[in-house]
Amino acid sequence: MNNSLVTTDYVVFIIYFLVVSSYGYYVYRQRKKGEHDAKAFFLAEGTLTWWAIGASLIASNISAEQFIGMSGEGFFLGIAVAAYEWIAAIALIIVAVWFIPVYLKNKIYTMPQFLKTRYNESVALIMAVFWLFLYVFVNLTSILYLGAVAINGLTGGDYLHVIMIGLAVFALVISLGGMKVVAYTDVIQVAVLIFGGLVTTYIALTVVGQKFGVGANAIAGFNVLMEQAPEHFKMIIPKPTESSSQIEISKYLTFPGLASYVAGIWIINLNYWGCNQYITQRALGADLQTARTGILFAGFLKLLMPLIVMLPGIAAYVLYKGGHLPQLVGGKDGAYSAVLTFLPTGLKGLSVAALTAAIVASLAGKVNSISTIFTLDIYSKYFNKGTEQRNLVFVGRATVFVGMILAVLFTWNDLLGIGGEGGFTFIQKYTGFISPGVFAMFILGMFWKRTTGSAAIAGVLAGFLLSVFFNEMAPGIFGNDTLLYTAYPNGAGAYEIPFHICMGLSFGFTMLIMIVMSLAGPKVNPKAFELDTEMFKVNKSTMVLIVLTLMIIAALYVKFW
């Protein structure tokens, strides 16, 4: 068992690289006539199929922070962390049925454009600048850093910076071709990451079976996991009592049982999947039925993700507890890499390809969104109004290049401290502080005609300040046990409120502030969207897919409650 790659592994990886690059070039050549059309470059308007939209959504969502971070949470928490994926599937149903029709009817192509159309230009500009900083200095950097660290660990060498540049260049090549190239190469990327991820899970389960004397059988290995770690197969983490250990308290702080389902997890998912340029951009250039089917297809694929990104972490926990995983280093975040050491020659190359596919797809999707927001919402409106399409595409490509260069510079020596804080935590922390305000602004803007622009600005600011207050200050001011929350010892000498509960409280108070402010305005805001029930009707095939997804989720919760 070692991390070093051999010739066969490199051959497998090179084949993957050549297939993705060749297909990307083929797609680019197919769209060359529309090369200088901005909507074709940024949105691939009217050219994406439902399966390309769905696959691209998943490929952009799953990256190193899921492979490494969620496997780590599987090691620590168990199956409870799968709620992020399974609730996401329900969130995608909500987005497909209720959010996307609003965007498409009002010809929304970017999230800042939504804010300008519904509220005013000030709200749009503030959020455009914010999203650019968030995408470049939080998302892009963390994906690049975690990806380079993960692949460097698999190669068994000291090639961190070489790998970092390689990932950046690979993503750049794909991104410069525009959204159509990004989306269609994502189909290959998601196939590789799902196949490679499932192979890793299968090997992990067979190793568990072997080590615990039930034979090299994946089903038997899974049964061993349930026998050896029954607490890791409970979806609902119990609320701590006076006799609870610090580990039990820490688990609850990470995922506070039923309270998560009342509060934070819905805000996280609906904001991410429904109000996020990085995600919605794939569907905004399609017709309603294609967009809906693609989003629901992505939701169906989300049901598979815990098998790929969570189950190896539980396997690592059982192996480690039984003394069969001495190669585990770095605590829970080292779980996935430790499991990969069991892969035979050739399959390590496939695992590197799967990780690379996840990382490159996420980098390409993120930098394309950065390019779209800067070019369409800032450059074309404030620097060069009325510029021709060719120039917009040029600026878009230049922005892709600059964004990636900035990410490499800030990741080179980990200037942002991503490694010390943990990539998954780093992303959750900085996006989570703003999510309540942003989601409140979007949900009220879509469905309550009275919401005003001043309330929207107040909501964003209040959401952020309230998130900081509940996360950092509330226990010290109001005490550890109130009507609104209970704070628990975090093992570092302080008390804290579970993050999901903080998010729910911030969202609730933000909504209240926005509603009270909007009641002082006109009964119908002049910029309110016109909605009708026909927008939200779905056809029979769409309803079948929705019902099937919900039935599978219900069965999973019945089994693992």
pLDDT digits (tens, 9 = 90+) for 207-250: 999 999 888 889 999 999 999 999 999 999 999 988 889 989 98
Encode pLDDT of 77-107 as tens digits: 889 989 989 999 999 999 999 999 999 998 8
DSSP 339-373: HHTTPPTTHHHHHHHHHHHHHHHHHHHHHHHHHHI
* pTM for the full predicted model: 0.88
The phi and psi torsions of 481 (rounded to 5 degrees) equal: -135, 105
The answer to whether the CB of 381 falls within 8 A of the CB of 125 is no
The answer to whether the CB of 91 falls within 8 A of the CB of 168 is no
The answer to whether the CB of 141 falls within 8 A of the CB of 383 is no
Q: Please report the pLDDT score of residue 362 as a whole number.
A: 83
Q: List, run by run, the mean pLDDT of 10-residue segments along the chain (561 residues).
A: 71 85 80 59 73 86 77 88 92 95 89 90 88 85 82 74 88 81 81 86 92 88 93 91 88 88 88 85 85 94 90 92 81 80 81 81 85 88 80 87 90 69 60 86 94 93 93 92 92 88 94 95 87 88 94 94 87
Domains of the chain with bracketed CATH: 7-31+46-385+392-432+531-560 (1.20.1730.10)
Q: Please report the pLDDT score of residue 46 as a whole number.
A: 65
Q: Please report the pLDDT score of residue 1 as a whole number.
A: 46
CA 514 remoteness from chain centre: 27
Token duo for residue 127:
């959020």
From residue 169, give the alpha-carbon distance in Å to each of 186, 358, 400, 408.
16, 15, 11, 10
CB neighbours (10 Å) of residue 204? 30
Encode pLDDT of 297-343 as tens digits: 999 999 999 988 899 999 999 999 988 888 777 677 778 888 888 88
Residue carrying the six token digits 């470059």: 41
Q: Please report the pLDDT score of residue 416 as a whole number.
A: 65
Q: Please report the pLDDT score of residue 210 as a whole number.
A: 92
